[in-house]
Amino acid sequence: MEIDIQTLEKNSSKLIKNIDDFSNNISNIYNELNWVSGCWNDYHARLFFTNVESERIKINKTYDELVLLKEVYESIISQYKSIGNKFKVNLEAKEDILNKFNLFSDKINETISLYNDLDLSFCSDIANKINNQKSKLLKIKENIVSAKTKVKDTLEKIEEIEKNINQKLSKIDIEAIKQVDINEFM
Amino acid sequence: MNENFMDEEEVTKTIDKLEAETTDEKLNLDNIKTIMSDMNLNYKTDNGSKLSELLDTLNNKFKTLTAVHDDNITVLKKNLDTYITTKEKVASMFDNLT
């Protein structure tokens, strides 16, 4: 997966403006059609304006659908923003990634254990150097464990966000609009 | 009883306004489509693919919306033409009588 939150955010403001414009344009069009319904009346006009009214309801539904999609994008932005701006990660490799940290940590444990097995009673200088190395290795291990926790938390957070977005998306159903035969209005 | 009538001038004005909405703004659907496509390029996930599918469905709906809008203009234009032609025919019939 690859996500660029900053670019999404820029586009999101444009999207809000354009959906508002769409809503205004549709309102203008149907207000105009409503107005002209008072300026033309015959059999065809009655059929036509009845159809226009049902169209208006369906088109308003399109606006609602656009708003729902806009809310999904806003939700993506706000949730990801709390953890970063750009993401490029393969969630399917999550366990492999975490195992790499474990392998590194295990290797350090092994090395420390080898150091512990050494009999250094006869050479205090070397013993000091080895102890310093041991401390350094323990510090590195600490950092690895902390990094692993951070990576694990981030990956779990990403999984949680995606699950949440998926739930929102599954509730969106875009209703089709059919073009009617206009010959009956002419 | 419903009286049949058409205010030629007002219907012409409405047609002009509706045509302006189509040609000038294109109902803003092209802009929305472009922005959402760009957004999906910056959200490459499984859900992003779902969003793209929804956007495809929405694009088809946008095409229908534009066609419906064009149809409405066509209906008004054709009925206006019919009204003007009939009015002229009737006027000519009266002219012939006198």
The pLDDT of residue A38 is 96
- pLDDT tens-digit map of A1-26: 999 999 999 999 999 999 998 899 89
CA A88 to chain B, closest CA, distance in angstroms equals 9
Average pLDDT, chain B: 90
pLDDT of residue B1 exceeding 60, the answer is no
Number of domains chain A is built from: 1
Locate the chain A residue with the closest alpha carbon to B23. Answer: A25
Boundaries of every domain in chain B: 27-90
Q: Which amino acid is at B75?
A: V
Region A53-82: mean pLDDT is: 95
Angle, to 10 degrees, between the axis of helix A124-170 and the axis of helix A94-117? 170
Q: How many residues does chain B have?
A: 98
Q: How many residues does chain A have?
A: 186
CB A46 within 8 A of CB B75: no
pLDDT category of residue B23 using cuts at 50, 70 and 90: low
% of chain B at pLDDT higher than 70: 93
What lies within 8 Å, CB to CB, of A177 at 6+ separation is: A55, A58, A59, A62, B61, B64, B65, B68
Region A143-170: mean pLDDT is: 97
**Contact B23/A at CB under 8 A:** no
pLDDT category of residue B37 using cuts at 50, 70 and 90: very high
pLDDT of residue A29 exceeding 60, the answer is yes
pTM: 0.89
Domain that holds residue A128: 2-185
Q: Measured between alpha carbons, how far is A19 from A59 in angstroms, rounded to an integer?
A: 13
Q: What is each CA distance from B56 to A174, B36, B61, in whole angstroms?
A: 10, 10, 9
Contacts of A52 in chain B (CB under 8 A): 72
